[in-house]
Structure 1
Amino acid sequence: MSELMDFGYQGKAAVITGSSKGIGRETAEQMVKLGAKVMLVARGEEALKEAAEELREFGDVDYIAQDITESGAGEKIVKAVIEKYGRLDVLVNNAGSSFAKNFEDVELADWEEDIDLKVMAAVKMAKAALPYLKKQGGAILNLTAVMGKTPQPNSLPTTVSRSAGLALTKAMSKDLGQYGVRVNAVCIGLIRSDQIEKRWQKQSPELSWEEFSASKADNIPLGRIGDTSEAANVITFLCSDLASYVSGTAVNIDGGSGHAW
């Protein structure tokens, strides 16, 4: 991110779920470097503590270990943010999973768990945050997946949950715009992650990351797996003042691999 541009994060407070690692952590780092105060949220306290200690090099960071699917989790998290920072300007609903199977193999409990994590947890977080976001016109960013726009075989229940996240984003943007609250989504494609790195080390340790990335990118026009920083760049922009007239949109971060706008 360019230091010559004012993203408007100075003095603002953000909460990012699923932020002990990956895209969430990278987004937190970018926002902190731009002046935001950030509350990290995830289930594992050890990883959260480590991430927070590393990010405090750049600014004001705190954390709360919390399963966001638990009853009252949204209120507990938002209360912690307000007690710590006195305000809330940005909510990034990043927590999720990549659970995907054939329709016949998905149990009813799998459906409930996936929708609870990827849809209802985002709803609960937004409901808890909204009274504070309305005070100065904040931003909500929902992470979804490219397959939510164009579901593929063996992609359930995650593509249904992600499609619901897209509809939620659009509908919320219509309802909350009157308060100056912007709601957007990003649709993630193949992005470097712990899971992919483990596959690299197991399958092709003789290859450099760049070589392995290219070998797995047959259906990606840009010819490689994306980096977490590239996803965080877009998220950080959409939540910033530079995107002050952007709401209700879903941006693909997929190297061109998606089949829908």
Structure 2
Amino acid sequence: MNLGLLGKTAVITGGSRGIGFATAKQLISEGANVVICGRQEDTLMEAANKIEKETGQRVLAIVADMTKKSDCEKLIRSAVTKFNRIDILVNNAGVTSTSPFLDITEEQWKEDLELKLFGAVNCSKAAVPHMIEHGGGAIVNLTAISGKTAFENSMPTSVSRAAGLALTNTMSKDLGQHGIRVNAVCIGLIKSAQIERRWKKDAPNLTWEEYSEKMGEEIPLGRIGEAEEAANTITFLVSDAASYISGVALNIDGGASPAL
């Protein structure tokens, strides 16, 4: 299937590891120009070099903090300067932050919303005019299944992720007239640096496959998902193969969520 990504320009926030990194590799393998960002320069440059080594193609890596509006604007401006256009935006930057309601400080609330909600808002606002100029585009906002069905002690993440779902739905309505599709993916238990650290700390005697099965006992598919599996879905959603899909929030969770 021709996904129609050849020559398009994609910006991926939080692209130095995990799902963002896997998505960058997938999109560049499909012929897209790819821009990634991250807050830590050494980690970001290591990721860019690894992508080039594995794909034979170079990515543009920009050090940027998605909690800062000026950095969001710098990221988009750098992409346009390099490639003259933006067709795809993947708002992936975010970390899991979960605590009981009474334990969360005002500063933690602000930090979480600044990164996960306003980071997506500010990057999208900077990118959309360039998409309109070239006849349309595709945006994917990464959220979590807890944004649909929150679980105990899951704040502030569940709240900021729910806001991301509302943002996605509203943007799809406002931007459809410009040929811009906006969708979300709701991530469940997916292999990440954070989960790998937990595995090595809590169960160093188990192989990854054994640990994945143990952690996945309550997941219908029986295992932790791989970052590449999420990247495959994101790549589909931003491609021409999904040209009539907008305003949806697709679970990538192995069937774990009770919500569609």
What is the DSSP-based 3-state SS (H/G/I as helix, E as strand, rest coil) of the residue aligned with 1:72?
helix
Q: Any stretches of 5+ residues in structure 2 without a counterpart? A: none
What is the DSSP-based 3-state SS (H/G/I as helix, E as strand, rest coil) of the residue aligned with 1:198?
helix
Pair 1:73-2:71 in alignment: yes
**Of 125, 128, 135, the match for 2:126:** 128
Q: Any stretches of 5+ residues in structure 1 without a counterpart? A: none
Letter in 2 for 1:84: K
Q: How many residues align?
A: 257
Question: Could you say what the CA RMSD is over the residues aligned between the two structures, in angstroms?
Answer: 0.9
Structure 1 stretch displaced more, 63-72 or 21-30: 63-72
Q: Which residue of 1 aligns with 2:36?
A: 40
Letter in 2 for 1:97: V
Q: Please list the CA deviations of residues 54-107 of structure 1 after superposition, one character each: whole Å capped at 9, or x if unmatched.
A: 222422411100111113122211110011111100000000011011110011
What is the DSSP-based 3-state SS (H/G/I as helix, E as strand, rest coil) of the residue aligned with 1:184?
strand
Task: For residue 43 of structure 1, report the CA deviation from its aligned partner.
Answer: 0.3
* Alignment partners' CA distance in 1, 2:234 and 2:126: 21
Q: Please list the CA deviations of residues 218-247 of structure 1 after superposition, one character each: whole Å capped at 9, or x if unmatched.
A: 220000000000111101110111100000
**Of 21, 24, 34, the match for 1:25:** 21
Structure 1 stretch displaced more, 167-176 or 193-202: 193-202
Q: Which residue of 1 aligns with 2:50?
A: 54
Q: Sequence identity, in percent?
A: 53
Q: Please list the CA deviations of residues 204-229 of structure 1 after superposition, one character each: whole Å capped at 9, or x if unmatched.
A: 22222111111111220000000000
Q: Which residue of 1 aligns with 2:146?
A: 147
Q: Which residue of 1 aligns with 2:227?
A: 228
Pair 1:138-2:134 in alignment: no
What is the DSSP-based 3-state SS (H/G/I as helix, E as strand, rest coil) of the residue aligned with 2:69?
coil
Structure 1 stretch displaced more, 51-60 or 240-249: 51-60
* Alignment partners' CA distance in 1, 2:171 and 2:221: 32
Task: For residue 196 of structure 1, report the CA deviation from its aligned partner.
Answer: 1.2
What is the DSSP-based 3-state SS (H/G/I as helix, E as strand, rest coil) of the residue aligned with 1:56?
helix
Does the CA-based 8 Å contact 2:65-2:72 persist in structure 1? no
